[in-house]
Amino acid sequence: MKKGQGLSITTIVVAAIALLVLVVLVAVFTGQIGAKNKALKACDTIQGNCWTQEQKESQSGDDAIYVLDPTKTCSGSTEDLPIYCYVKV
């Protein structure tokens, strides 16, 4: 093969990087990455319990100890009725 014919290694590497960037951009703008991030923040991903403060206090008869995990979210939580993620330790 003569010099200058065909695709060079540099061209192939640049095309692969451009394709990777395009895939990441599509994932970001279609919400795929955000959906996975939201799922990771869900309380049930750590086998937590979503309880109101009253529900947590009613667990006092249980021998287990539950701690609040403020990094996790619970669906159905409102300002009037906050629901927290409690994890058994």
What is the model's pLDDT at position 20? 96
Q: Domain spans of the chain?
A: 1-41, 43-89
pLDDT of 1 strictly over 60: no
pLDDT of 14 strictly over 90: yes
Termini Cα distance of the chain: 67
Rg (CA), the chain: 24
pLDDT, tens digit, 9 for 90 and up, residues 19-42: 999 998 887 777 666 656 666 678
- CB neighbour class for 14 (10 Å; exposed up to 12, middle 13-18, buried from 19): exposed
Contact 43, 74 (CB under 8 A): yes
pTM beyond 0.85: no
pLDDT, tens digit, 9 for 90 and up, residues 47-77: 888 898 888 888 766 677 888 888 888 888 8
